Each structure stands twice: as C-alpha cells, then as structure tokens.
Amino acid sequence: MMIPRLTRAAALSALALILFAPNALADETCMSPYMAKIVGQEDYIYIWTLGIEGVGDGEDKLVTVDVNPDSESYAQVVHSVSVGGRNEAHHSGLSDDRRYLWASGLDTSKIFIFDVHTDPGKPRLHKTIDDFVAKSGGIVGPHTNYALPGRMLLTGLSNNRDHGGRTGMVEYTNAGEYITTHWMPTDDNLQGAVKSGSYADGYGYDARALPRRNVLVTSSFTGWNNYMMNLGKMMADAEAMKRFGNTVVIWDLHTRKPKKILDVPGAPLEIRCAWGSRSNYCFTSTALTSKIWLIYEDDTGDWHAKAVADIGDASKIPLPVDISISADDNHLWVNTWNDGKVRLYDTTNPHAPTQVFEHQIGEQVNMVSQSWDGERVYFTSSLLANWDKTESTGGDLQYFKLYGWDGEKLSPRFHLDFIELGLGAPHQMRFGAYALYGLTPPARDAAAADAR
C-alpha cells in the first residue's frame, strides 16, 4: 500500500482542509455523514456528464474542472474520462474514504467506479459494474450512490418487470461486490412499515441517513418508462403523469427495515438533512407540486412530513430539482429547472422557511452544490436527456458555473459552456482535494493567483 509523504506545507494544508465528521451531514453540504469533509478550498469538481450525440465523442464522461484560484489551470477542464457510450449519466457519490467516485447510469443501469485518490487531477475508470439488474433481483436505474461505513448504498428508480416506479435499494461493498437488496414497501407488502397516509407506492429516488437517530430517509420519483420518455409527450399523457412517487419512507438505518411511510405527494426528490447535533429533520422538494417539505421527528420519536413553503408559482411548473442546505442549517438553496432560477430560503425556523433571494442562473438549471463555508456555489444545467431543453435562446443551455456568495448576492466567478467544449450535458458535481490523500498539489503560481 502506498503511504504518501507529506511536506510540512501539505501536512498543514491537509489539517486545515479536512475534517472527518461523525454525525453530520452538509456538497460538501450534502455528503454522507460517514465521510471526510473538505472545509477549506476544494481543488477540483468532478462532473458526471451525459453524452449528447454529435457533441464531442457523444459519450458519458467524468469531467474534472480545476476550481482552486491558486492553480495555474483554474477555471479550466483539466481532465475527462469517457466511459464508452451513453447510459443516462445522472448521479454520483464518493465512498466513505473518498478514494473512489461511483457514477451511475439510469438507462443502462451500469455503475462506473472512478479512482480519484491516486491522482485527484486525473481520475481513472477503476471498475464497471454491468450486472446491477441481475444481481439486485430486478432493480433498474441506480440513482443515489451513498456512502455507509465500508459500503455503498444505491437507490433504484425502477424495475425490470414493468419499468415502472416500484423499486428498491441495493448495497455494495466498497470494492464493488453486491451485498443485498431492500425493496421499497408497498401496499402489497408493507414489510412491517406503518402506512400513515394514502400511499405506499414503492417508488424510490434519494436516500440520506441520520445515524444518531438510527434513521434512513428515502424519497420517490418515477420509473424508467417516464424518465426515459420525451418530456412534452409525457406531460400530455395523463396516465403517465399519474405514475410519480408520492411518498417518503422512514427506515431503521441499522436493520434496513422500513418503519413508516409518509405521504409527500408530487414526486419528492433530493433529501438534505440538518447538521445540528439536536436537529432531527430533513428537507425535500416536490417536483410536481412545487413545495418544500419538512420531514421531522417529534418529541415522542415519531416522524412526520408537512409542506412548509411554496417554490415559485406552481401553476407555471417551475419544476424544483436540486436543493442544498448550508452547514449551519440556516439556509436552503432551491433550484427550479424549468425557469432556470435558484432561490434561497431562510430555514432558521425549519417549520416556516421564507424566501430571501432569487437569481436567474441559466435557461435551465438542475444541480446546486456549495462549499462547506457557503462562499462558493456551483451549478450545472442538465436534468435528463429526453427532458433537457434543446433549443437555446441565449447560448446558456448546458453549463457549469461558479458563483461567489457574500450573504447578499451571487457574483459570477466563471462558467464553462459544455456544448462549446464538446463535453455534453453536465449533471452531478462532487468535490476533490489533494489534501484528502496526503498529496501535494502541483506548484501554484502565486502571482497568477494574485492577478486573478
């Protein structure tokens, strides 16, 4: 095993940058609580990018962008690894030791595991899992890649029987070996869970853990039939529009058994849990009903869900997508894909968030990730291959953008046009840093950094 040597500077840098958080969740503010955190300046953003036919090689790829202002290659794409085809590249996640990045495809159900620790500036494809459906017993569409101690939890979106929304979660070892499958509870088989409302649909999407409370929270989207359909066609299909998730499930984290099914109608997507040591709640947003929902534990230990804020004008279908909670739990960034806007909510009172800021990011916007200190906010544009807009009105369709945030306004730092660069449609972002691995970054050009 390689034991990298540290210079004094690198050692100090590592100490200042990296914290191992035991019980906390915040992109850096949305990672698994089991994972080391970058609390200083990140070096790279790894962007899992969907290939577009006719754009570059047309393949899905992991794109590495240098985001350290002290670097000579700041604001540039420094590396790209194509994976040999299009898979509906969507989400990605780091293992608990952050040595590997798992990136999955919703269409082919392939999972690509990248080594990001040997050379953080040049990730390489380490392993491909191409038997996910067979091994899992029929789960289709691996979505969230979430680190648990020594293993990865993958949520599914669909199944191979009808390509609808009934699905489950699948566990793998960090080495990429299949462990087990957990199907979502349904009316047919509640698996001991309490159905607290009208729905037990068995749909899946995201997952987040609150280990201190022994709780795993999952949300629900839609199946392969819908997410691979043209957006306009689907929205005109009344039957298809009925097939979206309406539930959040509370699980026993230790036993992986579902405990309670909560009604959260309108496709609850990303889940972000509070970091506070006594804050027993998470947020999610509903794509179809355009609301922020609070998933919270009461004083008796029972879990509930309630809508706590509107996101824009639901009648205009803003389509909320990614959300990002600040490290102090006091703010929540909310992207709406259809109008290309980000909104910031004050969540000091999680039961009554209030919108305090709004900004136009692009013609469409999907993912938002913030640094631990909240001073840098990153955005990407792509949602799904067959849902993304294709007719640009301003040359701002497929992009990666960095803004500075001073508490009052977003200030553009740089943006990259992923079509112009021949890369594709950028989706999930994950952060990388040399200090995580005791490595010394390439020589910095201080003068160039000062000039910037």
Partner 1 sequence: MPDRRLILCGLVLMSTVLQAAPHDHPEPVVLAPGYSALEFVPPQPGTYQLPPLGSAADGEVLDSSGQSRRLHDYLGDKITVLSFIFTRCNDVNGCPLATFVMKGVQQTVMAVPALKNNVRVVSFSFDPAYDTPEVLRSYGEHFRDPGFDWQFLTTAGDAELAAILDAYGQWVIKDYDSEGNFLGTMSHVLRVYLIDRDKRIRNIYSTSYLHADTLRSDIATLLQETGKP
Residue ranges binding partner 1 (CB under 8 A): 1, 3-9, 11-12, 14-16, 18-24, 33-34, 36-37, 39-40, 96-97, 99, 149-151, 171, 173-175, 177, 179-180, 211-214, 252, 254-257, 275-277, 327-329, 437-438
Residue whose entry in the numeric block shows the structure tokens 């990296």: 18
Given the complex with partner 1, which of 256 and 415 has the nearer CB atom? 256
- CB burial class (10 A; 0-12, 13-18, 19+) of residue 422? middle
What is the closest distance, in whole angstroms, from the C-beta atom of residue 148 to partner 1 in the complex?
8
What is the closest distance, in whole angstroms, from the C-beta atom of residue 276 to partner 1 in the complex?
5
What is the closest distance, in whole angstroms, from the C-beta atom of residue 119 to partner 1 in the complex?
16
Given the complex with partner 1, which of 50 and 116 has the nearer CB atom? 116
Given the complex with partner 1, which of 263 and 373 has the nearer CB atom? 373
What is the closest distance, in whole angstroms, from the C-beta atom of residue 150 to partner 1 in the complex?
3
Given the complex with partner 1, which of 174 and 380 has the nearer CB atom? 174
What is the closest distance, in whole angstroms, from the C-beta atom of residue 170 to partner 1 in the complex?
11
Given the complex with partner 1, which of 35 and 305 has the nearer CB atom? 35
Given the complex with partner 1, which of 97 and 237 has the nearer CB atom? 97
Given the complex with partner 1, which of 1 and 238 has the nearer CB atom? 1
What is the closest distance, in whole angstroms, from the C-beta atom of residue 405 to partner 1 in the complex?
16
What is the closest distance, in whole angstroms, from the C-beta atom of residue 24 to partner 1 in the complex?
5
